[in-house]
Structure 1
């Protein structure tokens, strides 16, 4: 009887009328907007301290691009918020196991969301189509808090990876809050000022130490530590790497224009288009769009070396 009462209190929520959608959308807090002043305060604090210590953690062109990318993201997400909320509510309404709005459902929703985030992040490194939606985040060669602003302007395409969370019946407001908190959590890990923490914390969470590894361009660091909040997923699925040496940040190649936020966001799409035009056959074209970025880079290097050899022989 107690179990039945619990299930009744959890599931069986009524549909959300689209007539009330505006009210529900307004009820969902814009946590990122509220947190923005605090984030900018800590950015200024980190910049000021790094200047005093002559650490050169900030570079003008990169910082300008990071801030512009971040502002662009806020504008895009604010514009799309209502449409995304409409989609989430539509999915919620068609489910027979809709959950009532309960604050504690935030916890299982967050854990499941982070699990999906791990796989979305991992796939975004292993397939070029998705890498193009993520590469902007790895393009900074200086590691500081503004790197957390570098989220692709087309990152909302990756919402498809989080459909399993929506299909579990969590209330749309809970889903929306979880998404924002998950994004905010990743702000503090983009710094060199926080050292390795207690072993238990390092074992469970994606700390600054664990995330510095993820941004490293050394071979031992590439495609490691995908966890957004919980590093435990990396330990389970064999992608964990401990911070053992100073990371060399950025991509394995330098960007032509570090200060242009449009180029920073879309340079990979430009490269994909160039590769498609030069590729012969459907299989090769598909490889350049959906292949592993590492294998693609090796293939292009191999082709370049072959052409250089032919040129020398001729």
Structure 2
């Protein structure tokens, strides 16, 4: 197959330049309502991004081996042509939507993805705040490889999707003209995704296209100003703690679980899941009711 460029690698100079320009813009034209930049927060985001480059190389080894084995097994082949690349980009974005959505509703996957949401700022450096345990997305793309998409072509499409999402991490761009807002993921839509208000939680999972959210009922428009971060924020700038804090919380909850069902729920249910409280015994209910009277 033709050699495809490493889109992320080629985009790094643009990432750096645009981040610096945004920092300067806040210096020259402060915005009291915008989250802006904080030195420690930006340094943590950049450190997480640099760390993810290293760890991604490690995680790619078993994933590439598995994808390559599946590709060798399947008889289907999708040629790499200009129009098939467009179709592959569309298909990858579709599966990215479900991967992203899954990482918000399954706690063990959220433990990886929560890193990206852990900043209370929303700027271009936030886009660089990537997890170090990125071994959780590969199952969602198995259907593409099984249909004959070469693993290198899938990697190219994933890189394009990632690079596209860099520019939407900003408060400096207001809403775009309506046709763009209807079809594409934009800064306005992604601000909603990073917000911690109840009405904004678990919305706008699309990568390049916001159409998937409109189609599958997870879309929310930006109305009130977002409050960024987590529903329960972490008070640390330590990259290692940022990368692992939710795994530590899961381990603690599993250790304290009373039943196997609760243990499974702590791992595979939603991030805010709690076991149902045991129903009171009949003998305990009467005194409680009497006391209330």
What residue is the counterpart of 1:265 in the other structure?
A: 243
- Match 2:29 to one of 53, 63, 73: 53
Could you tell me how far apart the structure 1 residues matched to 2:270 and 2:63 are?
A: 29
Could you tell me how far apart the structure 2 residues matched to 1:104 and 1:190 are?
A: 29
Q: For the structure 1 residues 96 and 74, does the alpha-carbon distance in structure 2 shift closer, same or farther, using more than 3 Å as the test?
A: same
Offset of residue 123 of structure 1: 1.1
Offset of residue 278 of structure 1: 1.3
Contact 2:265 2:273 in 1 (8 A): no
Could you tell me how far apart the structure 1 residues matched to 2:104 and 2:80 are?
A: 35
What residue is the counterpart of 1:13 in the other structure?
A: none
Q: TM-score, normalised by structure 1?
A: 0.82
Offset of residue 82 of structure 1: 5.4
What residue is the counterpart of 2:132 in the other structure?
A: 153
Q: TM-score, normalised by structure 2?
A: 0.88
Count, aligned residues: 274
Secondary structure at the aligned position of 2:11 is classed as helix
Offset of residue 110 of structure 1: 0.9
Secondary structure at the aligned position of 2:121 is classed as coil
Q: Deviations over 1:134-154 (max 9, x none)?
A: 000110101000111112111
What residue is the counterpart of 2:17 in the other structure?
A: 41
Question: 5+ unaligned residues in a row in structure 2: which ranges?
Answer: 278-293
Matching of residue 284 in structure 1 with residue 243 in structure 2 = no
Q: For the structure 1 residues 82 and 191, does the alpha-carbon distance in structure 2 shift closer, same or farther, using more than 3 Å as the test?
A: same
Q: Deviations over 1:213-256 (max 9, x none)?
A: 01110011001111111111111111110000110000011213
Offset of residue 105 of structure 1: 1.2
Q: Deviations over 1:67-110 (max 9, x none)?
A: 01100111222345455444333322211111233232111111
What residue is the counterpart of 2:204 in the other structure?
A: 225
Could you tell me how far apart the structure 2 residues matched to 1:282 and 1:265 are?
A: 27
Contact 1:28 1:176 in 2 (8 A): no
* Structural RMSD (CA): 1.9
Could you tell me how far apart the structure 2 residues matched to 1:261 and 1:87 are?
A: 30
Q: Deviations over 1:1-22 (max 9, x none)?
A: xxxxxxxxxxxxxxx8xxxxxx
What residue is the counterpart of 1:168 in the other structure?
A: 147
Contact 1:225 1:241 in 2 (8 A): yes
What residue is the counterpart of 1:134 in the other structure?
A: 113
Question: 5+ unaligned residues in a row in structure 1: which ranges?
Answer: 1-15, 17-23, 301-314
Could you tell me how far apart the structure 1 residues matched to 2:110 and 2:216 are?
A: 20
Could you tell me how far apart the structure 2 residues matched to 1:32 and 1:84 are?
A: 18
